[in-house]
A and B are shown apart, each in its own frame.
Chain A
Amino acid sequence: MYILEFEKPILALKSKIEELRMQQQTRGDEKLLKEINKLERQTKELEKTTYSTLNPWEKTLLARHPKRPYTLDFIEHCTTEFTQLHGDRNFRDDPAIIGGLCRIDGQPFMVVGHQKGRNTQDNVKRNFGMPHPEGYRKALRLMRMASRFKVPILSLIDTPGAYPGIGAEERGQSEAIAVSLREMAALETPIIAIVTGEGGSGGAIALGVANRVLMYEHSIYSVISPEGCAGILFGDGTRAQEAAQSLRYSAQDLLSFHLIDEIIPEPLGGAHVKPDEALDQLKRAALSHFNDLRGLTGPQLVEDRYQKFRKMGEFAEG
């Protein structure tokens, strides 16, 4: 079990309710019913306040929750006829990024996304969702193909970051990300990117040059991890909680900065509590934005994407 500190009082109330309900069922006590109702109201209130007032560090923990829906969960729950497409044609197939053709509500889509593992064994294979250059090159290969056939692209972002390793550097991690940024900008098909959990720096934005960028309610999107930031600022990676305060990387922050287009609401308690419900919300939001982009031609989509990112940046001009 993976229980976060702020989930504990809520879980305690819920198990108390469960206990009373058992008693009530065996004894048929009317008074207990009242008590249960009262506790349920209290729990709901506590949940509402807890999840609307999470501090940046608590948000971070929720965004990294290992039970959150991942790309494969989305594919399983929301798509039909999925064909996974493997490999960058140069070096290998990187399991930290997956992609393929599928249908969503009958319409063809190319889905690409980071893929984390849920247990140790799985995470060894998925490298904790940290791609190597060949992962980005695979994603770009699939996105270019989608553009050739005018198939819209859905990109799901959830990574601690691009992998920092010797092989990754030797094979051009920087170049792979940079080329992805430049080429995504030029694709003549609608692209929607959704940050579902952790939007970790360059490794995240490499899949994020989209016409619309959405974020789940409890996701984060940051220029640097709070641990990395603390390491640089304080020479101490364990002071990540302080760095999290300064970096302003929650979905709510990014929306207030006009850097994303919409926040996708999560079930109370977070996407991991009711993943299917969360995925339905994500699908609804994505389809409604794809619908908005339907009338645009290839060059118009490129122009729309250019202008979207062109506006980003806050400075004074004297």
Chain B
Amino acid sequence: MTSWLTKLAPKLLSTDAKKNIPAGVWIKCPECGETLYSKDLDKNLKVCLLCNYHFRLTAEERIEQLFDENSFVEMDRGLLPIDPLKFVDSKKYKDRIKQTMAKTKLNESITSGVGKIKEREVAAAIFNFRYMGGSMGSVAGEKITRVIELALKRRIPLIIVSASGGARMQEGAFSLMQMAKTSAALSRLAQEGIPYISLMTDPTTGGVSASFAMLGDINMAEPGALIGFAGARVIQQTIKQNLPQGFQRSEFLKEHGQLDLILERKDLRDKLTELFGMLLPT
């Protein structure tokens, strides 16, 4: 389909279909403001048909898009967070976990396992941003480390899809240590010559960007994703200057030599197949 037609399609649809379709199936693009019909959006891998804005995906949606049909087998589903600090802010961490689980129907911020991409087995860890901002505590760190160790043992390539605000402060220093734990595991993977591709999506910051997310043999990102170490607010308060246009977006990082490539969602499966194929010939 030519691009102008793709771009026009939802607009045409929206005018006459709106009346008959119940509320909730219309989604407003946060980037360009266009109202999109959710079925069209899903068909387009949750990328805005008008402005190419990449909507955030759940791990479930990512798995569906990325892996061969029904090939993904989840592992370590039974790992659950506990509250080693007895952390209290506006509510108890324990209650926050319960509410998050009830709301998201997820056990933790990471879904890990093995699936097939064009018949090649690939180990994967995928973040759920809606589970406490995709924050990394002990469970996320453990799941990532286990999936790295599995890739090592079975000599299959690894992909980690990040979408995270960073380390989870409710688990204090335990969360901090996950940065070292996961990075140490990747050191073994690198020494054994097993390829690891890191895909950074919106947002990838803090202790996640400053550990495994930046350690890919190939570091790639989706267009327009926020990626950085420090939050923009903290930087602004520290330096008391305005931040440059596009600061900490994928394109900015690539320009400054921090990313190998920016990849559109529709190209991910093909690109991973190509790259893994060259790095780990069967």
Q: B-contacting residues of A (Cβ < 8 Å)?
A: 162-166, 168-175, 177-179, 181-183, 185-186, 201-202, 205-206, 208-209, 221-224, 228-229, 231-234, 243, 246-249, 253-254, 257, 259, 305-306, 309-310, 312-318
Contacts and interface: CB of A to CB of B under 8 A. Distances in A.
Contacts of B243: 166
A222 to B, nearest CB: 7
Interface of B: 78-82, 84-85, 87-90, 138-139, 141-142, 145, 167-169, 171-181, 183-188, 190-191, 206-207, 209-215, 227-231, 233-235, 238-239, 241, 243-244, 247-248, 256-258
A223 B230 contact: no
A312 B174 contact: yes
Contact of A177 (B139, B177, B229, B231): B229
A224 B85 CA distance: 14
Contacts of B234: 164, 228, 231
Contacts, number: 200
Interface of B is mostly: helix
A249 B173 contact: yes
A201 B173 CA distance: 8
The 8 nearest A-B residue pairs measured at CB:
A164-B230, A313-B138, A181-B183, A185-B184, A173-B229, A174-B209, A312-B177, A314-B84
B239 A166 contact: yes
14 contacts: A164-B235, A171-B256, A181-B183, A202-B210, A208-B180, A221-B176, A229-B169, A246-B87, A246-B89, A248-B172, A309-B180, A310-B185, A313-B141, A313-B177
Contacts of B82: 314-316
A173 to B, nearest CB: 4
A185 B182 CA distance: 10
A73 B102 CA distance: 53
A275 B134 CA distance: 43
Given A164-B229, A185-B183, A224-B167, A201 B207 contact: yes
B207 A315 contact: no
A67 to B, nearest CB: 25
B84 A205 contact: no
Contacts of A224: 167, 169
Given A185-B184, A246-B89, A309-B180, A232 B215 contact: no
Contacts of A312: 138, 141, 174, 177-178, 180-181
A222 B176 contact: yes
Contacts of B188: 306
Contacts of A169: 228-230, 235, 247-248
B165 to A, nearest CB: 9
Contacts of B239: 164-166
Nearest to B244: A166
Contact of B81 (A165, A177, A201, A315): A315
Contacts of A229: 169
Given A201-B176, A205-B176, A228-B234, A309 B90 contact: no
A313 B233 CA distance: 30
A172 B258 CA distance: 6
A182 B181 contact: no
